[in-house]
């Protein structure tokens, strides 16, 4: 089980639009039609839940479930998007989540890219063994050590503070893997030349490697932001006070409180998904490259 075993199967994905030279030419017209039919069908299946979410969020509560099903809101009830702010602590939840996501992303990008440089570019005894410890954690789900982690955090008086979420998310191995993969594609000669010029390792990292790795840093930042934004289990275990709730935690308490308010629940869901959806659509390229190059989840 070496680092190369893991990194070989997932090379960086080709630039969008270029679907690789291996793409088979679709020759027959029938095959092409069949392909489109499959695409449309799959897209419909994948999008149906999102369609339902948006449509239901614009219905009055009684119209959500009807026989037969109404697929378009009539009339369109924009009020839900006003009511939700009054009936829930959406503002607090969003503020907490935004704060956490920004801090975690910043720390993960900083420490992850730093550590990755040490693993990718500096040779020293014990390095591979140390990296193996990082790789090994792929096979160890967080669920299996959440109990002792919680005990340690409680001893440190960090549970029920926002810091607990920062701590459990910011030092993961994802950043290290993603950035290491990227640094290894930068030609070693660049660093060699800088070393001859008398630049220290830190100088090389800051002046040469960092400016070159903007796309990879963007990938990592987007992945981390999304992971932290969507995290439900961490906040569930660590954040007990209502004023500390994140959007996922808040939404879920809202759902159990108003479990018959189908339309409002969908409104809350749309709002919780919206920021991540916008970020994803804007930075899609980085997302997809990041995922393809690490094959790892947060």
Partner 1 sequence: MATLPRTRPRNRRLVSRNTVAGWSFILPNFLGFAVLTLLPVVVLFYVAFTNWNVFGVAEWTGTANFRRMWDDASFWTALRNTVYYAVFHIPLTLAAALGLALLLNRKLRGVRFFRTVAFFPYITSIVAIAVVWNQLFSPEYGPINALLGAVGVDNPPGWTASATWSMPAVIIVGTWRYMGYYMLLFLAGLQTIPAQLYEAAETDGASPWQRFVHVTLPGLRHTTFFVTVLLTIESFKVFDLILVMTGGGPGQSTLVLSQYIYQKGFEENQFGYASAVSIVLFAICFGITVIQFMVNKRRNS
Question: Binding string, 266-295, against partner 1, x = CB under 8 A?
Answer: x--xx-xx--xx--xx--x--xx--xxx-x
In which element (H, E) is residue 32 found? Answer: helix 29-57
Q: Does 48 engage in binding with partner 1 (CB under 8 A)?
A: yes
Cβ–Cβ under 8 Å, residues 118 and 112? no
Comparing CA positions, the residue from 25, 5, 27, 23 lying closest to residue 14 is 23
For 59, the 3-state DSSP assignment is: coil
Q: Applying CB under 8 A, which part among 19-27, 72-80, 87-95, 187-195 lies near partner 1?
A: 19-27
Q: Does 162 engage in binding with partner 1 (CB under 8 A)?
A: no
Measured from the CB atom, the residue of 5 and 189 that comes closer to partner 1 is: 5
Q: Does 176 engage in binding with partner 1 (CB under 8 A)?
A: yes
CA distance 36 to 77: 35
Among 124, 197, 243, 260, binds partner 1 (CB under 8 A): 124
CA distance 254 to 88: 7
Q: Applying CB under 8 A, which part among 79-87, 88-96, 189-197, 251-259 lies near partner 1?
A: 251-259
Site for partner 1 in 86-115 (CB under 8 A): 110-112, 114-115
User: Between the CA of residue 88 and those of 13, 78, 144, 212, 240, what are the distances in Å?
Assistant: 42, 17, 33, 44, 17
Cβ–Cβ under 8 Å, residues 297 and 230? no
Measured from the CB atom, the residue of 17 and 211 that comes closer to partner 1 is: 17
Measured from the CB atom, the residue of 46 and 75 that comes closer to partner 1 is: 46
List the alpha helices (DSSP H) in 67-213.
80-87, 90-121, 127-136, 142-155, 162-170, 174-183, 188-196, 201-204, 210-212
Q: Does 177 engage in binding with partner 1 (CB under 8 A)?
A: no
Question: Binding string, 136-155, against partner 1, x = CB under 8 A?
Answer: -xxxxxxxxxxxxxxxx---
Measured from the CB atom, the residue of 16 and 242 that comes closer to partner 1 is: 16
Other C-beta atoms closer than 10 Å to the C-beta of 153 total: 19
CB of 232 to partner 1, least distance (A): 5
Among 181, 219, 248, 267, binds partner 1 (CB under 8 A): 248
Among 4, 30, 45, 243, binds partner 1 (CB under 8 A): 45
């Amino acid at each position: 089980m070496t680092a190369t075993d893991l990194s070989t199967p997932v090379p960086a994905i080709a630039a969008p639009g270029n679907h690789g030279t291996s793409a088979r030419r679709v020759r027959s017209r029938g095959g092409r039609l069949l392909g489109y039919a499959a695409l449309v069908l799959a897209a419909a299946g994948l999008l149906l839940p999102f369609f339902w979410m948006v449509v239901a969020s614009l219905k009055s509560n009684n119209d959500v479930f009807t026989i037969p099903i109404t697929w378009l809101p009539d009339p369109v009830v924009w009020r839900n998007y006003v009511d939700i702010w009054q009936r829930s602590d959406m503002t607090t939840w969003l503020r907490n989540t935004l704060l956490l996501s920004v801090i975690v992303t910043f720390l993960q990008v900083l420490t992850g890219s730093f550590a990755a440089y040490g693993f990718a570019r500096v040779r020293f005894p014990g390095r591979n063994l140390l990296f193996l410890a990082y790789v090994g954690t792929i096979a160890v789900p967080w669920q299996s050590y959440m109990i002792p982690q919680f005990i340690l955090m409680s001893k440190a008086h960090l549970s029920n503070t926002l810091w607990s979420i920062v701590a459990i998310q910011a030092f993961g191995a994802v950043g290290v893997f993603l950035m290491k993969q990227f640094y290894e594609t930068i030609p070693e000669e660049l660093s060699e030349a800088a070393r001859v010029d008398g630049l220290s390792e830190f100088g090389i990292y800051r002046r040469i490697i960092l400016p070159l790795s903007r796309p990879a840093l963007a990938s990592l930042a987007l992945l981390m932001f999304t992971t932290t934004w969507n995290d439900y289990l961490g906040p569930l275990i660590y954040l007990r006070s209502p004023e500390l709730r994140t959007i996922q935690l808040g939404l879920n308490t809202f759902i159990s409180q108003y479990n018959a308010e189908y339309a409002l629940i969908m409104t809350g869901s749309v709002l919780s998904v919206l920021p991540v959806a916008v970020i994803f659509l804007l930075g899609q390229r980085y997302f997809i490259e990041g995922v393809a190059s690490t094959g790892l989840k947060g």
